[in-house]
């Protein structure tokens, strides 16, 4: 059997896609849980979940980033002392992943390329969605002043997320070029 034919059959398999999505969701939950820097005014925390969200958006596309970003971060919240943030994380990080994945996918011909300049635009839009979402959610939960204090941390979290996701995406694409066919 030709490896290329076998590889394309796996890619087309719904079971493979569900398994991949489950793994990406678990990775997002772990990245969100491993490093937690608490923010006192909102009772939230900074984390590395954005590395996984942007990696998923750049590598696997908007639908994968929507599901893995939203469910992964919400799961991390539910399994921690921050369960009150789970609905906000589900919505905000899901939308962050969706928006970043949609923008990163604009230049369809660059899918096989190692670096895509649209990733930077995607990251800027994802950052705006995440920061605005947590500002709105935090305002509802703890008030505008406390939510505003969290804004610089959210910006930093996104910057770290993009700085980690881009080299990770490049490394995975170089190590396994067929990953470009796994967009969803």
Question: Is pLDDT larger for residue 150 or for residue 2?
Answer: 150
pTM of the entire predicted model: 0.89
pLDDT > 90 in the chain, percent: 66
Averaged pLDDT, 119-139: 96
Q: Answer whether 47's CB lies under 8 Å from 36's CB.
A: yes
Q: Answer whether 182's CB lies under 8 Å from 60's CB.
A: yes
Helix, strand or coil, per DSSP, at residue 126: helix
Question: Is pLDDT larger for residue 69 or for residue 11?
Answer: 69
Q: Answer whether 17's CB lies under 8 Å from 27's CB.
A: no
Asked if pLDDT for residue 146 goes beyond 80, the answer is: yes
Q: What are phi and psi of 46, to 5 degrees?
A: -90, 150
Give the C-alpha separation, 158 to 166, whole Å: 12
* Cβ density class 127-150: b for 16+ within 10 Å, e for less: bebbbebbbebbeebbeeebbeeb
Lowest mean pLDDT among 9-18, 67-76, 145-154: 9-18
pLDDT tens digits for 105-118? 887 655 556 667 88
Structural domains for the chain = 9-180 (1.10.1760.20)
pLDDT at residue 2, rounded to an integer: 44
């Amino acid at each position: 059997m030709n490896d290329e034919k076998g590889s394309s059959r796996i890619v087309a398999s719904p079971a493979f896609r569900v398994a991949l999505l489950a793994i990406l969701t678990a990775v997002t939950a772990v990245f969100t849980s491993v490093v937690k820097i608490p923010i006192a005014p909102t009772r939230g925390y900074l984390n590395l979940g954005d590395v996984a969200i942007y990696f998923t958006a750049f590598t696997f596309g908007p639908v994968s980033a929507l599901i893995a970003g939203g469910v992964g971060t919400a799961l991390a919240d539910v399994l921690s002392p921050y369960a009150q943030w789970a609905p906000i994380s589900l919505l905000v990080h899901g939308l962050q992943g969706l928006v970043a994945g949609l923008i990163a996918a604009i230049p369809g011909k660059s899918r096989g390329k190692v670096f895509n300049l649209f990733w930077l635009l995607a990251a800027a839009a994802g950052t705006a969605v995440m920061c605005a979402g947590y500002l709105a959610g935090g305002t509802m939960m703890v008030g505008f002043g406390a939510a505003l204090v969290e804004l610089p941390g959210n910006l930093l979290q996104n910057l770290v997320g993009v700085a980690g996701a881009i080299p990770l995406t490049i490394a995975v694409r170089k190590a396994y070029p067929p990953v470009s066919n796994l967009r969803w």
